[in-house]
Structure 1
Amino acid sequence: MAFQKLCSPKIQRLVAMVTQFLVLMLMIWATALSITDKAALPGGHIFSLLILFTGAVIGGDVFSRIHLPPLLGMVTVGFALSNLPVIRVIGHAISPEWSGTLRRMALTVILIRAGLGLDPVALRKLSATVSRLAFLPCMLETLTCAVVSHFLIDLPWVWSFLLGFVLSAISPAVVVPSLLNLAERGYGLDKGIPTLVIAAASIDDVVAISGFGIALGIAFSSGDLVWTIAKGPLEALVGIAYGCILGIFLWFIPAKDSSNLIFFRAMLLFTGGLLATFGSAYIDLAGAGPLGCLVLPFVSGIRFRKKNNPEQTALMTEAVGLMWMIFQPILFGLIGAAVRIEQVQDPQIVGFGVAIIAAGLVVRCSMAFIAVCRSGLNLKEQIFVSLAWIPKATVQAAIGGLALDQAIKDENEELKSLGLIVLTIAVLSIIVTAPIGALAIAISGPRFLKSTGTESISSTKDRDTVQENLSDAVEGEEEKSALPENSDFVTHI
């Protein structure tokens, strides 16, 4: 009996998928060894990156199987590779320049996906409730974290607000799959709660990332005070202008009858985003990059949605999702590896960081509750929305280390210590809020939301309606993260 269970189709599929992944990574390592020699040997940065990627994928899959966010497993693996005895040499061997570059590339992919998820029609129809839910909790949490961090750990005001914007972004990687899971079971559909939360979450991230970009530009400005003050708004204008101009240009290329339309469109968006990210830093307008990455896919997608059928749109989303499937374990693994216990000059920063996060969450959840008052939701539904506003992960991992990367590039030791504080607290926010938020949504959803019953969405028409309401804010592989255990091994990331 035990032998039959061991040889069950599910176990066989799992073994096959793990084996094919490990064989793939082994072949990549052997190829890298043939090309680079010592860099791919133990102690080299390429070897360390491959070990980090492999461990992050496996860690994400393990955490997903115990119903925790996969990204938490990836961060844990990265942290272990930089801090546990014996194996910490792996994390220490990763080149800071490579780490910073790969994290910026991952940020580009995140922003492109977010921009593609913003539908102009939906934005025009946003209700006052969605607008309040998107702006009020984000801005007031930023203000709270800025004030608390300034007086608690003596951060300069600009860095306090930079930290506030890092902490104020909600995580679509946690919220979206959780809300989809509830929607598939009929919870909250009668009042459109999944759509409300997902639409507001998209705008929340835009606000937080845009504010972070401006704060980052001011934090690393030097020279004339007037220029320092004006540089933030200028960076925002440059980013918007870049995204609009290149986005309109992409209305006309590639040609509609191109045999590789989706491939070239995805590559143009990706390379355009990379140019915004790295080019803005090169011309000393780093804050323009993130906003340019958001606006570019949003503007280009206006005509793309009109001129292409839903199947092509889905393929476009899948193509960008494939990029994210590759960069996600790299991003979260590197963000965990960047935090080294021996570099935390003041151990109390961990306790203070938790206090800052807690203060921000109290204000955030309270404002989320107030934002949905008089919106037709009952008390339990209002509590659920406020709980759904807890998780932080994706954006914190993407932008949490950018200030440290810039300080390392500028070789500024004082700013490097400030950047490390921001990164440490950003990682703490992931570790603390991602599992708590995911569990809060999973537990409170069935208890606080009214279920329309699975039969109400069993028909093809109703399923299409649910998917249409959510598709503008949800990318393809985020849905895969909610699939059963016999899904492809890598799709769990």
Structure 2
Amino acid sequence: MEVISGSQDPLFIHNTPDSHHAYVNAGLQLDGSTSTIAQSSVKSCSTITEDTEDLQAKQSDKSASSRGCCSSCLRSHSDLPDNPTTIQRIKYAFSCPPHGKIGDCLIWIVLCLALWGCLISITWEMALPGGKLFSLLLLYVMALLAGLMADFVGLPSLLGNLVMGILFSSIPGINALGHNIDIYYSSVLRNIALTIILIRAGLGLDPVALKKLSCTVLRLAFLPCLVETVTMGIASAFFLDLPWSWSLMLGFVVAAVSPAVVVPSLLRLSEEGYGVDQGIPTLVIAAASIDDVLAITGFSIMLGLTFAKGALIWTILEGPTGMVLGILCGIVFAILCWYLPYKEKTNRSTYKFVIIFSLSALAIFGSHRAELESSGPILVLTLAFVAGLGWRKLGTEDPEVCANYRFMWEIFQPILFASIGSEIDIGATDPGTIGWGMLALLIGVAFRIATSFVVVMGASLTAWERLFIAIAWLPKATVQAAIGSQALDHVLQHGGDDIDHIRGQQVVTLAVMAILLTAPLGAVAVRFAGPRLLAKCQPKP
């Protein structure tokens, strides 16, 4: 094969036999190369296809694994077995969507964050870290979390609220926030909580149960409370050198039983059938409300007498005058609530709730402004009881009203117990107050238990059942937290003497000690003693 002279292009070649063989050989080589390339391409494509399939398979496995992991976190895929272990309970508690205690905690966190944002927008510096409102809001959140933890381990949530308040003012570093809580705001919140307690106590008085168990209920409500008040008054006057007005006021503070601890435990026993045939849960629950009414009324009268000013005759008459005035005004307000809102009004229960709360708050705060502190609580109790009595007779009773107040109590309970706990600085508390105060409390509790055991002897109950009632009549919490700081608040707001400030601090300290001593002990004792001391009713065939 020769190239045409003068041309460098290999296409221009002579067509000779040699060139023909060359073409053929070149074509064979080209076909071989093409075949080789094609085979390589096919192999490459098949390899890529296999790699792609492997990658898709791995991604599918990862996706399935992710879906499996996510589905295991869903409550719909995490059914709790009949006898779950602790790990299974914890896993189920944190499953999504949020529910139970975790869901409640998240609800309150969102609400608190939203409230904090609103306060920052309105007050700015007061709601920022270091401000008075910020300290109060932080105390509320911490008390709420502590209450959930206490409830999780089987203790009353109010105990966690109280302990968190004490720690808030006692731990170095954190106590700077505790001491920064505004006294006025704290007092206002406690008075709102007291208003809710009084309304619930008044509405909770059942005339039918009182009539059925009148003698036994009245004996159980009045005698143990009065005996403990007098015993505590004498002991505190002797051990703590308190004047009689202060010592008796302290006696009424610590003498009240706590429905927040007693009622849930008794309802649980009642659902299980313990003591139902003898009417023990009904007896204790009905007497608890009257016991609280008596203690709060007595405290209000002694508070008015302790800080009364002016002539001696007015000092003597101020307590009874405030009591009569509170009862009369409460009856007038209650009659107004019988007919407003009218029967055909839509959302009637909501209007009832708002009207009663507004009138009750007016009574509490107005009595402080008028310096007739003893009349406010009595007015609220009378208003709630008479209003409930009239609604039952007129056929306009709405259960939603009590449910609304129960919800409000759940909101204000943490700040009530945490705020009174924050009044206690362990490092600054007199050891003598703790020691002698503890001795006085033990003496008062001992007399209370003995009296409770004796006063129900004529109610056709066995000795074991009477012992259970005496144990159930032990826990203290709600009333102590609500009124325990009233005297100290009065001294701080009216610029009292240093000695009155010390006495007010002693009353707060002993109120907190009474809660810490009796609330957990009473809750555990009622839960333990109920199935062992009470007879279980037999199911009807």
Taking structure 1 as the reference length, the TM-score comes to 0.89
2:419 match: 334
Q: CA deviation at 1:127?
A: 3.0
Distance 1:176 1:15, change over 3 A: closer
**1:69 and 1:435 in contact (8 A); partners too:** yes
Distance 1:51 1:305, change over 3 A: same
1:473 match: none
1:479 match: none
Q: CA deviation at 1:60?
A: 1.0
Distance 1:139 1:15, change over 3 A: closer
Where structure 1 has 5 or more consecutive residues not aligned to the other structure, the ranges are 460-493
Distance 1:6 1:192, change over 3 A: closer
Candidates 439, 444, 451, aligned match of 2:536 = 451
Q: CA deviation at 1:257?
A: 1.4
Q: CA deviation at 1:6?
A: 8.0
Q: CA deviation at 1:341?
A: 2.7
Q: CA deviation at 1:425?
A: 0.2
What is the alpha-carbon distance in structure 1 between the residues aligned to residue 483 and residue 108 of structure 2? Answer: 29
What is the alpha-carbon distance in structure 2 between the residues aligned to residue 6 and residue 424 of structure 1? Answer: 38
Q: CA deviation at 1:313?
A: 2.4
What is the alpha-carbon distance in structure 1 between the residues aligned to residue 403 and residue 476 of structure 2? Answer: 24
Q: CA deviation at 1:7?
A: 8.3
SS at match of 1:191: coil
**1:108 and 1:293 in contact (8 A); partners too:** yes
Q: Give the length in aligned residue pairs.
A: 453
Q: CA deviation at 1:306?
A: 3.2
Q: CA deviation at 1:18?
A: 2.9
Q: CA deviation at 1:17?
A: 3.8
Q: CA deviation at 1:120?
A: 2.9
Aligned-partner residue type, residue 281 of structure 1 = H
What is the alpha-carbon distance in structure 2 between the residues aligned to residue 317 and residue 110 of structure 1? Answer: 11
1:350-429 aligned at under 5 Å gives the runs 350-412=434-496, 413-429=498-514
Output the aligned Cα RMSD. 1.8
Aligned-partner residue type, residue 11 of structure 1 = F
1:456-471 aligned at under 5 Å gives the runs 456=540
Q: CA deviation at 1:59?
A: 1.0
Candidates 252, 268, 276, aligned match of 2:339 = 252
Aligned-partner residue type, residue 372 of structure 2 = L
Q: Which digits, 9 at most, give the CA deviation of each residue in 1:6-50, with x for residues without a partner? A: 884433235444333322222221221122111111111111111
1:147-186 aligned at under 5 Å gives the runs 147-186=234-273
Q: Does 1:77 align with 2:185?
A: no
Q: Does 1:221 align with 2:305?
A: no
What is the alpha-carbon distance in structure 2 between the residues aligned to residue 387 and residue 298 of structure 1? Answer: 28
1:272 match: 359
Q: CA deviation at 1:115?
A: 0.5
Q: CA deviation at 1:270?
A: 0.7
SS at match of 2:372: coil
Q: Does 1:261 align with 2:343?
A: no
What is the alpha-carbon distance in structure 2 between the residues aligned to residue 7 and residue 149 of structure 1? Answer: 47
1:14-93 aligned at under 5 Å gives the runs 14-93=101-180
What is the alpha-carbon distance in structure 1 between the residues aligned to residue 184 and residue 427 of structure 2? Answer: 20
What is the alpha-carbon distance in structure 2 between the residues aligned to residue 23 and residue 375 of structure 1? Answer: 51
What is the alpha-carbon distance in structure 2 between the residues aligned to residue 368 and residue 16 of structure 1? Answer: 41
Taking structure 2 as the reference length, the TM-score comes to 0.81
**1:244 and 1:299 in contact (8 A); partners too:** yes
Candidates 374, 379, 398, aligned match of 1:313 = 398
Identity of aligned residues (%): 45
What is the alpha-carbon distance in structure 1 between the residues aligned to residue 113 and residue 433 of structure 2? Answer: 40
1:195-214 aligned at under 5 Å gives the runs 195-214=282-301
Distance 1:125 1:192, change over 3 A: closer
Structure with max Cα Rg: 2
**1:56 and 1:73 in contact (8 A); partners too:** yes
Distance 1:156 1:7, change over 3 A: closer
Q: CA deviation at 1:307?
A: 3.4
**1:381 and 1:449 in contact (8 A); partners too:** yes
Q: CA deviation at 1:227?
A: 1.2
Distance 1:64 1:313, change over 3 A: same
1:293 match: 380
1:99 match: 186
2:7 match: none
**1:305 and 1:313 in contact (8 A); partners too:** no
1:11 match: 94
SS at match of 1:130: helix
Where structure 2 has 5 or more consecutive residues not aligned to the other structure, the ranges are 1-68, 79-87
Q: CA deviation at 1:210?
A: 0.6
